Amino acid sequence: MQAFALTLDKFLDHAAKWQPDGQVVTAREGGRIDRVGYADLRDRSLRVSSVLAGLGVRKGDRVATLAWNTQDHVEVWYAIMGMGAVCHTLNPRLTAEQLAAMIVQSQAQLLIASADLAPLARKIMDAAPGVERLLVIDGEASEGQALEPLIAAASPDAIWGQFEETAPSGLCFTSGTTGAPKGVTYTHRSSYLHTLRALQVDVMAISSADAVLAVVPMFHANAWGLPFAAPAVGAKLVLPGRNADGASLSRLIAAEGVTVGVGVPTVWLGLVEHLETTGERLPSLKRIMVGGAPMPPALMERIEQGLGVTVQTSWGMTELSPSGTVAPLHAPSQAALSGRPAVGVDLLLTDADGVALPRQRDAEGHLRVRGAAVVERYFGQETSATDADGWFPTGDLARIDAAGNLMITGRAKDLIKSGGEWINPAEIEAVVASLPEVSLAAVIGRSDPKWGERPILLVETQGEVTDEALLASLQGRVATWWIPDAVYRLPRMPLASTGKIDKIRLRAEYGGG
């Protein structure tokens, strides 16, 4: 067989040749829409590679980006990865100090930022003196140097893909909702294989007829691989920029005929609330993929009925590139189930010591995973993150039903030890979140002088419901001593930068007793 390195530049090369008019669409401030065909996007990305090479970027160098989901960011992605450098995506919802600590680890010397994030970029550079240059995209540069004039003057003759498929392509730090962020290095091969898996019929099932709205951020876990998957099949890729509120998403979906939306549950909650207020309809939208956080059953029903769509649940992690399991389209919708793994990723349930459970179906255990797009060790660490057989411990508690569907039942780190016995917050949250009056629910442990810890319930509601009714819903569903000692009502549940409930913040504010 021919030597054919599985490098990510080939996706854009393919799109430019066979789907040259397939579009990448970006929503800009003020309602403006920018669009570019795949052939022109490839030309611009090659020019960006020439610019970077002229600034001294070489194979293996880390180049940091601090940007929203836009055409400019996609161009920069392919430019960096295509020339063999490593794209280190930074989450703009973190602090300058947190981001600077990540850049110090990656040793990036060049930072590319969206114009409205340039002041944050400058603060990062002040705290990370190794960053020598700031290039600005997505608007006029108030700090640093605008990239657009450099693109116009650059050559499109840059060479892509002259390196091994095992070369690193991206670097992303974990979200840190339960602990300190750690860097995960993606390779061209891992992300290429992840893309092929994502495109399968029982996974994302994206085709050239689709218009895919990527609300999942490009700065976290490769935007679930959508900037690779969409050009791979010539689908329209629709990018919301920085605006992911319900009104903005509704306008964009309607204007671009979006058929598939991908994002965390809280995003779709905002869209549903907007549509319920305005009475608008979005007939083009057929399917929504959710992940990143558990989907409350009441919210899932609300989305499916309010939007007239099918909701596909999924489970993944930054360390999995990020897709682990996805519910097939033909399967009945169930909020608690996260689907089955596709070929290329495997699951294992173990006890707390990492010993495989004798029965892998209909038993709860600690979830481990391995595959071609699963982390082997974290960035900058010599010690492997996997066991001797290559299984990566996810930190999740899970069940696998008789049909092979995964159900995440909790996080090992979230377990509450009360009087020497364990309480699983996820089981309590699932019951409370099933109430139609509850939008979001979280359970954390609060310090207790007698029991060590006791559970408390924090809720964001959308209707009238008493504390007594919230707690009564747990009667007969969980052990009586699991029932939370107190209920706290929050006008808005605090969310981490990736849309997950921020339990670190909740513990800091409510867990001290």
What are 442's two structure tokens?
């979280």
CA nearest neighbour of 114 among 182, 26, 44, 211: 26
319 is known as an active-site residue: yes
In contact, 300 and 278? CB cutoff 8 Å:
no
Amino acid at 305: Q
- Identify the domain boundary among 313, 331, 353: 313
Determine, yes or no, domain membership for 370.
Answer: no
Using alpha carbons, list the distances in angstroms from residue 344 to 189, 193, 340, 462.
12, 8, 12, 41
Q: Are residues 306 and 421 in the same domain?
A: no
Determine, yes or no, domain membership for 16.
Answer: yes
Catalytic residue among 417, 421, 466, 481: 417
Catalytic residue among 174, 266, 325, 409: 174
Alpha carbons 341 and 311: distance in angstroms, whole number: 17
Catalytic residue among 132, 276, 422, 481: 422
Position 178 scores a pLDDT of 47
Number of domains in the chain: 2
* DSSP secondary structure code for residue 44 in this structure: H
Determine, yes or no, domain membership for 506.
Answer: yes
Determine, yes or no, domain membership for 204.
Answer: yes
Determine, yes or no, domain membership for 360.
Answer: no
Determine, yes or no, domain membership for 283.
Answer: yes
Q: Are residues 204 and 81 in the same domain?
A: yes
Alpha carbons 164 and 5: distance in angstroms, whole number: 7
129 in helix, strand or coil?
coil
Q: Are residues 66 and 211 in the same domain?
A: yes
Examine residue 341 and say whether the peptide bond preceding it is cis (omega within 30 degrees of 0): no
DSSP H helical ranges for 257-319: 265-278, 297-307
Q: Are residues 304 and 427 in the same domain?
A: no
Angle of helix 9-18 relative to helix 71-82, nearest 10 degrees, comes to 120
The tens digit of pLDDT for each residue in 337-351 reads 899 999 999 999 999
- Identify the domain boundary among 297, 313, 329: 313
Position 491 scores a pLDDT of 95
Alpha carbons 359 and 283: distance in angstroms, whole number: 45
422 is known as an active-site residue: yes
Determine, yes or no, domain membership for 352.
Answer: no
Q: Are residues 308 and 421 in the same domain?
A: no
CA nearest neighbour of 259 among 304, 217, 209: 209
Q: Are residues 292 and 441 in the same domain?
A: no
Domain span at 70: 9-313
- Identify the domain boundary among 298, 313, 328: 313
Amino acid at 122: R
Catalytic residue among 75, 165, 256, 319: 319
Q: Are residues 113 and 261 in the same domain?
A: yes
Report the CATH number that the domain containing residue 122 is assigned in CATH: 3.40.50.12780
Q: Are residues 109 and 226 in the same domain?
A: yes
In contact, 177 and 496? CB cutoff 8 Å:
yes
Position 180 scores a pLDDT of 66
Phi/psi at 225 (5° precision): 85, 5
Q: What does the pLDDT profile of the chain (513 residues) look like in tens digits?
A: 999 999 999 999 999 999 999 999 999 998 999 999 999 999 999 999 999 999 999 999 999 999 999 999 999 999 999 999 999 999 998 889 889 999 999 999 999 999 999 999 999 999 999 999 999 999 998 899 999 999 999 999 999 999 999 999 999 998 654 456 799 999 999 999 999 999 999 999 999 999 999 999 999 889 999 999 999 999 999 999 999 999 999 999 999 999 999 998 888 989 999 999 999 999 999 999 998 766 777 788 888 988 899 999 999 999 999 999 999 888 777 877 899 999 999 999 999 899 999 999 999 899 999 999 999 999 999 999 999 999 999 988 899 999 999 998 887 888 898 877 788 898 899 999 999 999 999 999 998 888 888 999 999 999 899 999 999 999 988 888 899 999 999 999 998 767 788 888 898 899 886
Q: Are residues 128 and 245 in the same domain?
A: yes
The tens digit of pLDDT for each residue in 364-399 reads 899 999 999 999 999 999 999 999 999 999 988 899
pTM equals: 0.86
